[in-house]
Amino acid sequence: MHRFAIIVASLLLLAATLPAHAANSADASHLRVQLIFPQSQLYPGGQNQVGLYFKLEPGWHVYWKNAGDSGEPPRIQWTLPAGVTASPLEFPAPARLPLGPLMDFGYENEVLFPSHFVVAPTVILSPANLHAKVSWLVCREVCIPGKAELDQNVQFLRSAPPNPTVSAADTALWNRLAKLPAPLPSGDKAVFQPTSTGFRLAVATGRRETQAAFFPADQDILDNPSPQKLTSTPEGLVLDLKKDANLTASPAHLNGVLELAGGRNYQVTATPGTVAAATPVTSSGLPGIVGLAFLGGLLLNLMPCVFPVLFLKGLALVNSGAEERHKLRAHGFVYAAGILVSFWALVAALLGLRAAGATLGWGFQFQSPVFLALMAGLLFLLGLSLAGQFEIGLTLTSAGGSLAAKQGYAGSFFTGVLAVVVATPCTAPFMGAAIGYALAQTAAITFAVFTVLALGLAAPYVALTLQPAWTRLLPKPGAWMDVLKQAVSIPIFLTVIGLVWIVAQSYGANLLAALLAGLLLLAVAGWFLGRWPARRWADTTAALFLLAFIGLAAFAQRLAVSPAPAVSAGTPGQSAAWQPWSPTALNNYQSQGRPVFVDFTASWCLSCQVNERVALDQPQVRQAFVNANVVLLRADWTRQDPAITQALAALGRSGVPVYALYAPGESSPRLLPQVLTPGIVTDALNQLPRAETQASAAPSDSK
C-alpha cells in the first residue's frame, strides 16, 4: 500500500513534466538524461553498444530493476529500422538508499544502463535515426516522474569499418560506468536455507569474506530495511536475511546481486541446500603475516625512496651524540610515533573511503594529482634547504616536510611522517600479500598488521636511540656533515623529477606546466629566505609564494586531462605488444584459448618500473612471450580505476606490482613474485600447457 500511495502521488505530478525536445540528451527535473553511443557505426556481429546515462542532482536518485520498498526503474522504448532489435537495459550493482523506515535500491550522482543492438545482415545500409522514448522516476523526499524523447543518428554498415567513428566522450563514460555484476565464478557456489525468520545464504568464494551485501532481484522476498548479519567462513561467507512479512512460500531460487569487499559484484542464483550454522573464523595465518609485516618494515629502510629521508635523522643522531640518554630515547619514540600515526591515518582514510563506497587500494593517494603536486613541492623545498639555499630553522618553512630536517622533537616526528609518505609505493615487493590480507580482514586485524609494519620501519632508528653506545661507531661531527647534507639533496631532487615525470605521463602538459611554475614559486620563496634570513618581511613574502603554490596545487584536478589511449597490438601473431587491460579483453582472449599475461602497474610504483626494465622488456623475455603466443595486457593503475582495484582484490592484492599469468583451461591465474627476473618469467612461460599453446597459435599464424 505504501508503494502504491507513493506511485499514485507521483503520477499526479506527471502533468507538470513535459516531454523533452527530441535530441541526444534532455534536461529534466533534478537530472539530465542522455543516449551514449561509443561508436555510431553499427553492423552485423559488432558490439553495437548503447547506454542510457543519468546525471543526477545531489541527493536525488533513480532506481535499480528491483526498486526496493518504493519506486520504479527507468524504461526505454525504441523505434528502430527493420532488421534492428535492442536488448533490454542492463543494471549495474545498486546502492542501499534508506528513506525513513523504508529501503530503496538505486543510484545517486550518475549511472549508465548498458544495452546493445542486434543488427541483421539484411538491414538497409544507410544513415538512420534511432528514436527512444525514455521514462523514469526520480526521488528524494518526494518522487517526480519524468520522460523524454531522444534521437541519435547512426550509420548501418555491412561489416566492421577499418577506421570506426568513435566518440571519445561517450567512450570515456562507457569505460567508467558500464560496470555490470559478473557471473559468479564457476568454482564458487551459492546455496540458501529457509529459517524461521527468513533465509540463510551461504556463498563459497574460496577466501574469507569480511564485507557483503545482498540485493534481491525479485520484489517482496526480503524485508529490505532489515540488517543483513554477516558471518565470515574460511571459504566465504554466510548472510542471515529476514524475509518479507507477506511472503508465504519459499522461492525456488534466491536471485540477486552480491556485493563483496573491494567493489566486487556478482550475479547470484542460490539453490536450496543445507547451510550449517556458521561461527566466526580465527585468523590462523595472522602470526606469519605479522612476522612478514615486521620484516617488510625493516627492509623498507633500505629502499631508495626512503633512505634519503632517513639519512637526515642519521645526521641529526651524529650531531646529538652528546645529548643525555633520555633525550635520545625521546627522539626515537617521537620518530616512531610519527610513523605510527601516519600509517594509522592512511589506513583509516582508506577504510573510511571504502566504507563510503569508493573502490580504492593501497597507495591510493598517489592516484591524486593534488597529492602528487604537493609532494613534489614539499620535497623540492626540502632539497633546496639541504642544498644550502636557506636555513630551515630560521624561517617560516619549518612546517610540513621541512620539519623533517630539524633536530627537535618536531623534526623527529615529521621525519617519521615523511618516511611513511614516500615509502607507500615501495611496500609492494615485500608486503603485497600481507597488505592484501590485512585490508580484507576486520578493522582490528588491519590496524594490527599495519602497526607491526610501522614498528619494523621505525625499529633501526629506535634501536640506536635506545643503545647510545652504538652511536660511538658513527663518525664524529664536523664540516663533512654540511657537504654530505648537500649531497643528500641530489636523491631528493631525483625524487622530485620522478614525481614530475608521473604528472607529465598521467595528467598531460597543462598540469606539468602548472607544476613547474609552482616549483619556480618555491625557488623564489627559498631565495627570499636565504637572501634575507630571519627578516619578517622576507618571511612574509616567502609565505605568500608558498600559499600561491598550494593554491596552484589545489587546482591540479581541474588541470588534469585524460592520458592518451594505449597502443594495441597489431596482429595476433605479434603477441609481444602490450594492450590495455579490461575485463572484456581478458575474457575474450581466454575464451579463444590464448594464454594471457597481465601486468598490474603504475607510474608511481618504483618496483613496477624496475621490473619492466630488468625483466619484462628484456629481449629474451619478449621473445619467450611471442614463442608461447601469450597476449600481454597492461593494467595501468596510475590513475584511480575501480575495475583494476576490483581485479586486484579478486587476486588477494591491494596494490601493485602484481603479475598474473592466465593459462588456457585454468580458472585461476598463476601469480608471479613481485620482484621479477628474466628467469622467473621464462620459467613460468615454460610451464604453460604446450599442446594448448600450439593449438591456439596455429589459427593466429594462419591469419
CA 643 to chain centre: 7
Q: DSSP string covering 163-194, please? A: S--B-HHHHHHHHHH--PPEEPPTT-EEEEEE
H or E element at residue 531: helix 480-531
The whole-angstrom separation of Cα 484 and Cα 499 is 24
H or E element at residue 484: helix 480-531
- Domains of the chain by residue range: 2-179, 189-272, 286-559, 578-701
Residue 598 has pLDDT above 90, yes or no: yes
Q: How far is CA 17 from CA 117, 140, 150, 277, in A?
A: 29, 16, 16, 52
Residue 439 has pLDDT above 60, yes or no: yes
Percentage of residues in the chain having pLDDT higher than 70 = 77
pLDDT greater at residue 43 or residue 413: 43
Which pLDDT band holds residue 438 (cuts at 50, 70, 90)?
low
Q: Residue 39 has what DSSP assignment? A: B
8 A C-beta contact, residue 68 and residue 102: yes
Cell of 545: 609564494
Nearest to 647 by CA among 659, 638, 632: 659
Pair type for strands 102-108 and 61-68: antiparallel
Yes or no: domain 578-701 corresponds to CATH 3.40.30.10: yes
8 A C-beta contact, residue 150 and residue 24: yes
Range of lowest pLDDT (223-227, 492-496, 557-561): 557-561
pLDDT at position 241 is 94
The whole-angstrom separation of Cα 212 and Cα 232 is 10
State the CATH architecture for 2-179. Answer: Sandwich (2.60)
Question: pLDDT tens across 303-347, in order?
Answer: 666 666 666 666 665 555 555 666 777 878 888 898 899 888 878
8 A C-beta contact, residue 548 and residue 583: no
Mean per-residue pLDDT for 658-685? 86
pLDDT at position 452 is 87
Q: What's the predicted TM-score (pTM) here?
A: 0.49
Mean per-residue pLDDT for 433-441? 62
Cell of 279: 561461527
Pair type for strands 49-56 and 31-36: antiparallel
Question: pLDDT tens across 381-436, in order?
Answer: 878 887 888 765 433 333 334 444 445 677 778 777 877 776 666 655 555 556 66
Q: How far is CA 248 from CA 66, 68, 220, in A?
A: 20, 19, 10
Which pLDDT band holds residue 25 (cuts at 50, 70, 90)?
very high
CA 212 to chain centre: 19
Range of lowest pLDDT (77-91, 147-161, 490-504): 490-504
Mean per-residue pLDDT for 150-172? 89
Range of lowest pLDDT (246-250, 437-441, 520-524, 658-662): 437-441
The whole-angstrom separation of Cα 3 and Cα 140 is 15
The whole-angstrom separation of Cα 61 and Cα 66 is 14
Question: pLDDT tens across 178-229, in order?
Answer: 989 999 887 788 999 888 889 999 998 877 788 899 999 999 999 999 999 8
Residue 20 has pLDDT above 50, yes or no: no
Phi, psi of 654, deg, nearest 5 = -130, 10
pLDDT at position 255 is 95
Cell of 183: 557471473
* Coil vs helix vs strand at 320: coil
Residue 513 has pLDDT above 50, yes or no: yes
Residue 105 has pLDDT above 90, yes or no: yes
203: left (phi over 0), alpha (psi -120 to 50) or beta: beta
Percentage of residues in the chain having pLDDT higher than 90 = 27
Which pLDDT band holds residue 108 (cuts at 50, 70, 90)?
very high
